[in-house]
Structure 1
């Protein structure tokens, strides 16, 4: 963009030395350096803003694609809200229906208070 050859740079320095003078040249160089630094900072900030906007646009595009694919999958495989029931386990040979009822009653979490054991305060024996 700004292609400056070494001979051109030397010519600019000589002209600046003649026009500004050797006494004020360091002040002028500091002034120019500050402005170049500010310009670089502004360019870096502008570039970061553009990069952020590009990333956000790409994310929006990816989100649109994801929604379209998700809708296609949901149309192909509709959601079933009901939970599937587990298959029945056959009883072993020799057990009767009364044994199954007794086992189910013993396994049920609801117990009346007469059969509940009181909590222990001390260590186990």
Structure 2
């Protein structure tokens, strides 16, 4: 952007004071500030739009690389060539088997929780109220 150092800014301020005059200088500075603000807003919008386009392009490139890598992995290791089924290893009494598939394990039976005859949940007791103070008769 524009690069002003102190001596250049001082020269511009003196020329503006001489040309515009001290009476109209505040109005001119507001006008210039307004347009500088608009220019910065347009530049900010342009920069954010450009950054979004770059980010989307990078994301598309990364998705393409991920798709290629996924295709390579699926080509090298297709689902048909998955690991062989685990084999039950009979071991001595009390020892855990090496690998057991769920269908090899006996079903586990658990009893359902006991329900009360009137309903399944006992209602919570109501809190006791504090006694009210008696009003004095006047």
TM-score normalised by L of structure 2: 0.58
Distance 2:49 2:30 in 1: 29
1:47-86 correspondence to structure 2 within 5 Å: 47-80=47-80
Distance 2:21 2:41 in 1: 30
SS in 2 for 1:2: coil
Distance 1:43 1:56 in 2: 20
Task: List per-residue Cα deviations over 1:22-78 (Å, max 9, x = no partner).
Answer: 111000000100111111111111111111111111110000000111111111111
Task: Confirm whether residue 13 of structure 1 aligns to residue 10 of structure 2.
Answer: no
Distance 1:56 1:121 in 2: 58
Greater helix share, 1 or 2? Answer: 1
Q: Which runs of 5+ in 1 are unaligned?
A: 91-106, 109-119
1:1-125 correspondence to structure 2 within 5 Å: 1-80=1-80, 87=87, 122-123=116-117
Aligned residues: 103
Q: Which runs of 5+ in 2 are unaligned?
A: 91-105, 108-113, 118-138
What do you get for the CA RMSD once the two structures are aligned? Answer: 3.3
